[in-house]
Amino acid sequence: MQTVRFITFGCKANQYDTQLLRETLLRRGWNEAREAELVVVNTCTVTAEAGRKARQVIRRIGRETPTARICVTGCLAESEPELLRELPNVEWVLGNGEAKRPVHFLRQLGEEVDPEELGIPSGITEFAGHTRAFLKIQDGCDKACAFCIIPSVRGPSRSRPADELAAEVRGLLAGGFREIVLCGIHIGHWGRDLGQSLGHLLECLSEVEHPSAEDWRLRLSSIEATEVDDGVLGVLAGRPDRIAPHLHMPLQSGDDAVLAAMNRWYTSAQYLAACERIRSRLDRPAFTADVLVGFDGEEEPSFENTLRTAREAGFARIHVFPFSPRPGTAAERPLRLPDPGLVRERRARLSELAGELATAYRRGLDGARDRIVVEAGGVGLSGRYQRVRIDPTDFGSTGPAPIEEVELGAVDTAEGEVELRGRPLAVSTP
């Protein structure tokens, strides 16, 4: 076999895993093609819907490219290997962890491999099709949230060593990436198995230098509010040039009884206290969150507590998910599930609030400084995870550098939205 196609579902950690497998094969002379001999499907099982979509795609490949041999990997391959093996053209079902490591992967495909071989990547150097690179710093989770299947398909938290990650950051900077997103399944637990802490890792990584990358930054992908400790916050506050002031902190619910039923380990007051602590050290940080609506036992007053908590947190963005019981989790048989119409209504109400809060947050950024990673088409992504419109001619005759520091202006648009515009603080010199 010489041609391969990759299809990825799910989270940033999965996208990282796919990239590692892609580099593993490309370095051995394989080529990517749409009509490929081998199709690697890296799956997700976080919701029943994610699993259904993956199975649908696998069946479609079997129909459309009957000669393709399919390798299914990822979380669905852990949770339902037998079902996947029965699908047409599926030849390998590899799961997560070791099963997905390059050496094992190559051997499964029938390639001869010497683990010491220089061509086998231990990390990634590219991130196909993206302007920002995702770097997986750990895998697995030691918690047991009632709605979540991830710990059973990814296992306990395992951290990658800081020096290996620093080398990978260097390689990505050499490859031209100027934003590196630290991702994993539970990144706040990075280092627990190594006797180290996430704050320590952030310090190490923010010191990384590369001659071709004067300016670059890190972003944390998703971190629990209770795990933004003094070490993490100290680096965020001390290196605003290196770490984006954006924290995606899953809330899940703003009601203490629902949080307890979800087996989450904090109260809404503790969550809000974490927001306040962070806000006192950073200039207008962006808080974004995941919220699950319609969890078992969520009554109208509990949902209103969620609305109140979201309002007080002042989220810049909320990802609203309707709860659906997931087989294999503690919450698979809910006692008092709200009816689907009610869940839809709550989802709509929270989404409406999310829109209002996002607009208010953008308006509040008027006059703030931010650093944008410049993208095509006169826009950039700010450290606070906002799209910012720029006029490239404002940045001198050579146009903007890959990262530019700007002053933000919040402008009301005719559609009733608030748009952020970025003006340079100083015109770049060629």
Q: Supply the minimum distance, in Å, between the C-beta of residue 264 and ligand SF4.
A: 7
Site string for ligand SF4, 182-211 (x = CB under 6 A): ---xx-------------------------
Q: Does 390 bind ligand SF4 (CB under 6 A)?
A: no
DSSP secondary structure string, 27-78?
TTT-EE-SS-SEEEEEE--SSHHHHHHHHHHHHHHHHH-TT-EEEEEEHHHH
**Toward ligand SF4, which CB reaches closer, 121 or 151?**
151
Place of tokens 């709860």: 323
Instruction: List the interface residues with ligand SF4, window 114-143 (CB under 6 A).
Output: 141, 143
Q: Does 151 bind ligand SF4 (CB under 6 A)?
A: yes
Identify which of 373, 394, 375, 376 has the alpha carbon closest to the alpha carbon of residue 384: 373
C-alpha of 374 from chain center? 20
Residue 52 to residue 285: CA distance in whole angstroms? 37
Residue 219 to residue 297: CA distance in whole angstroms? 35
SS3 state of residue 90: strand
Tell me if 311 sits within 8 A of 353, measured CB to CB.
yes
DSSP secondary structure string, 136-159?
E-EE--S---TT--HHHHH-S-EE
Q: Supply the minimum distance, in Å, between the C-beta of residue 164 and ligand SF4.
A: 23
The size of the interface with ligand SF4 (CB under 6 A), counted in residues, is: 9
> What is the pairing mode between strands 138-139 and 158-159?
antiparallel
**Toward ligand SF4, which CB reaches closer, 183 or 213?**
183
Residue 162 to residue 158: CA distance in whole angstroms? 12
Site string for ligand SF4, 52-91 (x = CB under 6 A): ----------------------------------------
Which of these segments, 14-22, 148-156, 199-207, 210-218, binds ligand SF4 (CB under 6 A)? 148-156
**Toward ligand SF4, which CB reaches closer, 156 or 355?**
156
Q: Supply the minimum distance, in Å, between the C-beta of residue 404 and ligand SF4.
A: 35
Q: Does 145 bind ligand SF4 (CB under 6 A)?
A: yes
Q: Supply the minimum distance, in Å, between the C-beta of residue 22 and ligand SF4.
A: 25
> What is the pairing mode between strands 3-8 and 31-32?
parallel
**Toward ligand SF4, which CB reaches closer, 5 or 186?**
186
Kindly list the residues in this chain that would bind ligand SF4 in the complex (CB under 6 A).
141, 143-145, 148, 150-151, 185-186
